[in-house]
Amino acid sequence: MAADTRGSARGAKGAKGAKGKPQQRPGNPLRDPADRRLPRIPPPCALVVFGITGDLAQKKLLPAVYDLANRGLLPTSFVLLGFARRDWGVGEFIDLAHKAAKEHARTPWRQDIWNRVAAACKFVPGAFDDDNAFDTLAETLLALDESHGVHGNAAFYLSIPPDSFPVVLRQMQRTGMADNVDDSITGYWRRVVVEKPFGHDLPSSRELNELVDSVFTAQDVFRIDHYLGKETVQNLLALRFANTLFEPVWNSHHVDSVQITMAEDGGIGSRANFYDATGTARDVVQNHILQLLALTAMEEPVEYTSDAIRTEKLKVLRAISLPDDLTRYAIRGQYTQGWLAGQRVPGYVEEDKVPDDSKTETYVALRLGVQTRRWAGVPFYLRAGKRLPRRVTEIALTFRRAPHVPFTASDTESLGQNQLVIRVQPDEGVTLKFGSKVPGTVMEVRDVAMDFLYGTAFTEASPEAYERLLLDVLIGDATLFPRHQEVEASWTVIDPLEQFWAGQEPAHYRSGEWGPAEADEMLASDGRVWRRP
């Protein structure tokens, strides 16, 4: 059959409209925005990890590097450079990385891919206060330009305790490793990745931010909040801003209240030292929960870019108000011994290395307000805790009752309020709860739930949060990373609560219950109840 010869030579896109010999566009001719099969791949670069022997590095970071390599998402020129206080050669480092990747990787194990990752591994031993070690590190990094063609690009991942930050950052400053005043002049980038906690209150977080920002520049600092790497959290933006259905009712005219729950069934595990000094409010409310609140309450960003989104989130965080009556609306609790999922579990103060008289909270319930036109008068109830009946994170919007219902009161007795629930984890998905007629000869209306379920089967192939975030760092996409102003605005919310709670005895709740009675009373006094997630 003859080829269709209608039309001009539009087959090759880009030739369109060009007279004479078509010209390549500037930049890489093989990249085309219309070509959406090609994955986003970072430029040549090195990933330098401090604290490579730590728990997080082994459980999340190293497996994520392997998974990215396995998915073909790492650049051809890539180096993984480990730094730790171990008397090691690169061989031991590779052994450790091999074990970590093999144990925790999500993608299937492929030896040839691993061999490539191993060939790209480097290790520099040394303590954080050892000048020589950092000089060696700087030289090694410089040599990578020649030997591996990384073009000077490097991301430094600080997987270390916060009290080591200053010394490591100073070392980087001293050796000039962080130098990257303007990447359009130097032609390469240097980025730093920091993990939570971002300080323990506003002054300390400010201090930390100033330090990091003075060594690097503000746009080169990536603060990891792994909740933002979750598919469902990103889907919240799609749900709100890609649809016409939800946004018109996403305000105080229609929403009665919002509940954000982050429950864990586990205890504090081996983190006693850290946890006892931190508590739930600092551990998860300041970062994860307030970020979820910001994404739920934010206005539509002008475009889907990191600046636009972070600007809108910041506006919400700054608009958060605390209730006047903190005694009633800021509850904290601590778990006592009890039964959870058929097993006897110890109380918080009986956990290893926790002082008997500890007043640290393992549960927080709060009522916040968001002082904007959209949300004025809508209470945001937040709760987070450990040793609750099951592990679940969700955002639930409860809608107002219909102003008028033509049915008799007895017909609608079992009709609750409409709810839209975004289930962040597990059972990722969305639930819509609404009233429906009970089949039968009389008019009776009751609640039913309509489920959209990503289902574990469907999300198996989706990248893990760390994978996604690590890739974003190397590409330089800061959309999913909170800015330092956001961190500071969050501390502004938490600090007054911590001051109020200081010295107070937390309410107690039995392990395996949904928190202390005070939290239930808090909602009861507003005429509401907690949703059972």
Which residues here bind another protein, judged by CB under 8 A? 1-15, 21-24, 26-32, 34-39, 41, 43-44, 69-72, 74-78, 110, 112-113, 115-116, 119, 146-149, 151-153, 184, 187-188, 429, 451-453, 455, 457-458, 460-461
Burial 234-254 (b: 16+ CB within 10 A, else e): bbbbebbeeeeeeeeebebee
Distance of closest approach, residue 21 Cβ to another protein, in angstroms: 7
| Amino acid letter for position 295 | L
In this structure, the number of other CB atoms found within 10 A of the CB of residue 134 comes to 23
Instruction: Give the residue carrying structure tokens 């001051």.
Output: 499
Burial 151-163 (b: 16+ CB within 10 A, else e): bbbbbbbbbbebe
C-alpha to C-alpha distance for 136 and 258, rounded to whole angstroms: 53
Return the closest-CA partner of residue 213 out of 188, 200, 197, 194: 194
> Which CB, 240 or 508, lies closer to another protein?
240
Distance of closest approach, residue 430 Cβ to another protein, in angstroms: 9
Distance of closest approach, residue 460 Cβ to another protein, in angstroms: 6
3-state secondary structure at position 380: strand
> Which CB, 184 or 343, lies closer to another protein?
184
Distance of closest approach, residue 13 Cβ to another protein, in angstroms: 5
> Which CB, 76 or 343, lies closer to another protein?
76
**Is cis: bond before 44, omega within 30 of 0?**
no
In this structure, the number of other CB atoms found within 10 A of the CB of residue 392 comes to 18
What secondary structure letter does DSSP report for 121? E
**Which residues, other chains included, contact 471 with Cβ-Cβ below 8 Å and sequence gap of 6+?**
40, 42, 68, 73, 463
Q: Is residue 253 flagged as an active site residue?
A: no
Distance of closest approach, residue 10 Cβ to another protein, in angstroms: 5
Distance of closest approach, residue 458 Cβ to another protein, in angstroms: 5
> Which CB, 32 or 350, lies closer to another protein?
32
> Which CB, 108 or 503, lies closer to another protein?
108
CA distances from 384 to 208, 261, 388 (A): 26, 6, 9
How distant is the alpha carbon of residue 224 from its chain centre? Answer: 7
Distance of closest approach, residue 76 Cβ to another protein, in angstroms: 4
Distance of closest approach, residue 1 Cβ to another protein, in angstroms: 5
> Which CB, 107 or 286, lies closer to another protein?
107
Return the closest-CA partner of residue 447 out of 421, 418, 406: 418
> Which CB, 39 or 440, lies closer to another protein?
39
C-alpha to C-alpha distance for 144 and 93, rounded to whole angstroms: 18
| Amino acid letter for position 133 | A
CA distances from 278 to 55, 273, 283, 286, 388 (A): 19, 9, 6, 11, 19
Strand 445-453 relative to strand 429-437, pairing: antiparallel
> Which CB, 65 or 523, lies closer to another protein?
65
Distance of closest approach, residue 323 Cβ to another protein, in angstroms: 38
Phi/psi of residue 272, each to 5°? -50, -50
C-alpha to C-alpha distance for 125 and 129, rounded to whole angstroms: 12
Structure tokens at 120: 């790209």
Q: What is the CA radius of gyration of the chain?
A: 26
Beta pairing partners, 394:
261, 423
Structure tokens at 56: 């997080």
3-state secondary structure at position 223: strand
> Which CB, 361 or 428, lies closer to another protein?
428
Write out the DSSP string of 144-181: HHHHH--TT-EEEEE-S-GGGHHHHHHHHHHHTTT--S
C-alpha to C-alpha distance for 299 and 318, rounded to whole angstroms: 13
> Which CB, 231 or 256, lies closer to another protein?
231
Catalytic residue among 226, 288, 404, 508: 288
Return the closest-CA partner of residue 162 out of 283, 325, 334: 283
Distance of closest approach, residue 411 Cβ to another protein, in angstroms: 27
C-alpha to C-alpha distance for 67 and 70, rounded to whole angstroms: 5
Catalytic residue numbers? 288
